[in-house]
Amino acid sequence: MGEILQQLVNGISLGAIYALIALGYTMIYGVLRFINFAHGDIFMIGAFSGYFVANAVSHILPTGSIGAVIVVFVASMTICALLGALIEYLAYRPLRKRPKLTVLITAIGVSLFLEYLSQLLFGATPRGFPEIISNHALIKSKAVTIDVVGAVVIITSFTLMLALRVIVMKTKIGTAMRAVSFNQQAASLMGINISKVITFTFMTGSALAAAGGVLYAAQYPSIDPLMGILPGLKAFVAAVLGGIGNITGAALGGMIIGIVESFIGGTFLSTYRDAIVFAILIGILIFKPSGILGKNEVEKV
Amino acid sequence: MTGLELQHVTMRFGGLTAVGDLNAVIEPTGLVGLIGPNGAGKTTVFNVITGVYSPTQGDVKFLGKSIKSLKPNEINQHGISRTFQNIRLFRGMSVFDNIRVSYAPRTNNKIIGSLLRMGGFYKEEKEVAMKIDRLLEFFNLSHTRDEQAISLPYGDQRRVEIIRALATSPKLLLLDEPAAGMNPTEKVNLMKLIRQLRDEFKIAILLIEHDMSLVMGVCEQIMVLDYGVKIAEGTPKQISENKHVIEAYLGEVVE
Amino acid sequence: MRPQLIFALIFAGLIGLSLVTGKIDPYYYTVIIFIGINITMATSLNLINGFTGQFSLGHAGFMGVGAYVSAIASTFLTTHGLGTEVMGGVPVMAIALLVGGLAAALTGLAVGIPSLRLKGDYLAIVTLGFNEIIRVIIQNVDFKIDGISYVGGARGFAVPQLSSFLWVFGIALVAIYFVENLINSTYGRGFLAVRDDEVAAEAMGVHTTRFKVRAFVIGSFFAGIGGGLFAHFIQYITPDNFTFLKSIEIVVMVILGGMGSTYGVILAAILLTIMPEALREFSEYRMIIYSLMLIVLMIARPQGLFGSETFTRFFAKRKAAANKV
């Protein structure tokens, strides 16, 4: 029983990070109808930004202090938001009217570019991530241990998801975003600046991925330029599982994938963990491509 | 035996009834026109017959057999072929190759024969080429044989589509607005051609057309759809005098 | 001139060339062998991605299946009396490659039937997923027969050296010959029809799913054989040889060569095998240049360097197909 509960807690904190990344996939898919393959690498850049910022400010703000944590988060989210907007502007915008697969291939190119540029700049060897959150057990009972980092991961993720929900549902730009994802042409006729909405979407999605990257690095404190590939792919699976284009679905999908992965990790199937996540993806795409919460898009022939 | 039989065919999309309780019969060498205002459900009828959609209710029978649950390619194999309202030629291919696709599912030399080029491969390829050339000649399009199909003038593209459909040796040919985009001379020629097709190939033809003079001039039987419901049926003369039809078209500019 | 004759002539030329390969510097020899293997890989993927228009990102998975299964076969045979001493190892290599190719083709069938219902980027992601699943499965397989280790999981698998210039380029020639013959036949026009317009193809009686699956199976068969050639050349394989990054590499060859142009794709395979070697001095910039090239290519010339405009057309058509009949 105790172990099950512990796996569940671990799963939720891992799932919360997947959810943060999945949100970016889903939002970008919502407005542009394409899979941003490079999203996992933004997550990686987020972790690296966190690493450098934490080290840079450590003279003024001691690592582990609240001030430092906030600076690290804000800085890395800002860096990635700008990077996201830049990538969209340079690589994807010229392809706006082009077929989806051209954009997908470009996204693969962007992904490789970010990975290998980081390898050149930061080196391929993993680096230890500074202990930005001083860790100790928060709750320690026979059944379950929750440490500070785990709690921060869960609380921060949920706060950010809630903030995103408010932005999407209550603000003007959020309404525009929903309009664009519903019908781009109509939205444009209603005077919505599509480019602005897309830029904003990339910025928000990338900022969330950056937060995910910092949280992931705080929990598993070893970062390297290829660290974004697998979490990125799994978060994509989460987005599809929840119903791509659906924000609540992405959060839900992230949780499910995190929990499933955590439980499999505790069994004899642990070496098959990644394969099982992909098997889930294939299963959904074949049997229920719209995902758990997605709408069925009727293909017009 | 009757050719095509539509029995109480109904096609709904969500709350919208595109075709409602349609009954129709097309004889084995019938030449029938399907007319109606825009959005009357004419193309939907084609899509139901050719298996693009499966009817919500009712049955489609061809030569006495129900074909409503068959896939489009199976329906084509049963002898129904079609053209498309918004021309769908294969963009990467020449005129010759566009028509050649129709023989792809009908060759004796499939993978192994094609890979190894044995077992009468060349003989069969020659036969296919001859058939295509004969069809091109019949349509006076021999000179376009090796051109990219989509680079041809609109009217020629429509005719290539008709050839492509004919190449599948259909017993029933569905033509979706074959005259759209043609000039008056081309239209007159097309009218002659359609009759000629029926007589030469001994097939039934069902055509959707907006051009009234063309429909009236060429078809022996006409069905009128409005809001998915058949409002009239008969010879051109009967239709032109039918009250319901005149009502349905009133205020509606017929292109 | 009939294709059989051209084929025979080139094959004779290859035999002639193979007599002098012993004099080539081993480093260049390795590059030349990789060119040959990549030609087979890219030509076979071109049948799926270029001619049939199905975007697969999992070709390395089938290559891996072929590599491992052929290596199992050759290891077993060489330790059971059918080694290099029998006719210079020709029978054992032939059997190993055939078994590897068939295993990859079967895997292709199993992967293709469910996934080919999907289109575009979803198909790409699912094939990528299968690629990773295959890799993870290989990583977890390890067994011994008569005290000899097979597969070896993540550790790797030692494979007898059986590849040669003639094998590699002979197979590449067969792959090119088959794909070209298939495509340039009446039957083969069905593949192009699926790529250009599925709705119209079906209306003309083409069983689109069947054509897609067949392209996939034939493509996987040659990917498997390519894997076998690779395994028996480098003599030590690990699951990491067959990640989706390898798949992407092959996809890039097909794109650069201009989706659906066999000769463009061959040229691209040669170019993209030589390029990393030429850039060895700048090896840390290699992948950066590579990825930038991909991005710039997509923006400036999506039809590839050597291809006609088929690529753009096919994608443009895809968009049009989303409209109504």
> B178 and B152 in one domain?
no
B21 found inside a domain = yes
- Contacts C4 to B, Cβ<8 Å: 117
> B179 and B74 in one domain?
yes
Mind listing the pLDDT tens digit for each residue in B177-212?
A: 999 888 888 888 888 899 999 999 999 999 998 888
- Contacts C129 to A, Cβ<8 Å: 278-279, 281-282
C183 found inside a domain = yes
B86 found inside a domain = no
Domain ranges of chain A: 19-227
pLDDT score for C319: 42
Angle between helices A2-32 and A39-57 (to 10 degrees): 110
> Please, are residues C104 and C216 in contact by the beta-carbon 8 Å criterion?
no
Element (H, E) at B239: helix B236-241
Q: How far is A197 from chain C (nearest CA, A)?
A: 22
Cα–Cα separations (whole angstroms), residue A255 to A13, A54, A212, A269, A295:
8, 28, 13, 20, 20
DSSP secondary structure letter of residue B94: B
Q: How many angstroms separate the CA atoms of C284 and A124, rounded?
A: 10
pLDDT band (50, 70, 90) for residue A85: very high
C281 found inside a domain = no
CB-nearest to B72 from C182, C187, C203 is C203
**CB within 8 Å: C218 and B90:** no
pLDDT score for B65: 93
Cα–Cα separations (whole angstroms), residue B3 to B95, B151, B173:
30, 36, 11
Average pLDDT over residues C264-289: 87
> B174 and B49 in one domain?
yes
**CATH number of B32's domain:** 3.40.50.300
Q: Does B124 touch chain C (CB under 8 A)?
A: yes
Q: CA-nearest residue of chain C to A112?
A: C291
Element (H, E) at B17: strand B16-26
C264 found inside a domain = no
- Contacts B89 to C, Cβ<8 Å: 197, 200
Q: Between C199 and C259, name the one with better pLDDT.
A: C199
Mind listing the pLDDT tens digit for each residue in C173-196?
A: 999 999 999 999 999 999 999 999
**CB within 8 Å: C295 and A100:** no
Number of independent structural domains in chain C: 1
**CB within 8 Å: B91 and C196:** yes
**CB within 8 Å: C121 and A299:** no
Q: How many angstroms separate the CA atoms of B106 and C204, rounded?
A: 10
Q: Does C137 touch chain A (CB under 8 A)?
A: yes
pLDDT score for A114: 96
On the CB side of B71, CA atoms within 13 Å amount to 14
- Contacts A271 to C, Cβ<8 Å: 136, 139-140
Q: Which residue, B123, B142, B168, sits at the end of a domain?
A: B168
**CB within 8 Å: C117 and A272:** no
Touching partners of C (3+ C-beta pairs < 8 Å): A, B
pLDDT score for A1: 62
- Contacts B71 to C, Cβ<8 Å: 202, 207
Q: How many angstroms separate the CA atoms of C302 and C309, rounded?
A: 9
- Contacts B125 to C, Cβ<8 Å: 185-186
Q: Which residue, B119, B147, B168, sits at the end of a domain?
A: B168
**CB within 8 Å: A236 and C130:** no
Touching partners of A (3+ C-beta pairs < 8 Å): B, C
DSSP H helices, chain A, are 2-32, 39-57, 66-87, 100-122, 148-170, 172-182, 184-189, 194-219, 229-242, 247-265, 273-287
Q: Between B254 and A111, name the one with better pLDDT.
A: A111
Mind listing the pLDDT tens digit for each residue in A212-270?
A: 999 999 999 999 999 999 999 999 999 999 988 888 899 999 999 999 999 998 788 88
**What is this structure's pTM?**
0.90
Q: How far is B47 from chain C (nearest CA, A)?
A: 8
Kindly report the average pLDDT of chain A as a whole number.
Answer: 89
> Please, are residues C60 and C128 in contact by the beta-carbon 8 Å criterion?
no
Q: CA-nearest residue of chain A to B43?
A: A301
> B128 and B75 in one domain?
no
> B142 and B174 in one domain?
no
Q: How many angstroms separate the CA atoms of B64 and C292, rounded?
A: 61
Touching partners of B (3+ C-beta pairs < 8 Å): A, C
| Domain residue limits at B105 | 92-168
Average pLDDT over residues B98-105: 97
Element (H, E) at C257: helix C244-257
Mind listing the pLDDT tens digit for each residue in A28-54?
A: 988 888 889 899 999 999 999 999 999
φ, ψ for residue B231, nearest 5 deg: -105, -15
B52 found inside a domain = yes
**CB within 8 Å: C313 and B47:** no
Q: Does C155 touch chain A (CB under 8 A)?
A: no
> B179 and B217 in one domain?
yes
**CB within 8 Å: B43 and C195:** no
B111 found inside a domain = yes
B191 found inside a domain = yes
Which residues sit opposite C150 in a β-bridge?
A: C143
Q: How many angstroms separate the CA atoms of A203 and A177, rounded?
A: 13
Mind listing the pLDDT tens digit for each residue in B13-59?
A: 988 899 999 999 999 999 999 998 888 899 999 999 999 999 999 99
Number of independent structural domains in chain B: 2
Q: Which residue, B127, B146, B168, sits at the end of a domain?
A: B168
Give the Cα-Cα-Cα angle C287, C289, C293 (nearest 5 degrees): 115
Kindly report the average pLDDT of chain B as a whole number.
Answer: 91
pLDDT score for C307: 62
Q: Is A126 exposed, middle or buried (0-12, 13-18, 19+ CB in 10 A)?
A: middle
Determine the residue type at A236.
F
**CB within 8 Å: C139 and A98:** no
Q: Between C276 and C36, name the one with better pLDDT.
A: C36
B122 found inside a domain = yes
pLDDT band (50, 70, 90) for residue C285: confident
Number of A/C CB contacts below 8 angstroms equals 120
C274 found inside a domain = no
Q: How many angstroms separate the CA atoms of A167 and A150, rounded?
A: 26
pLDDT score for A99: 80
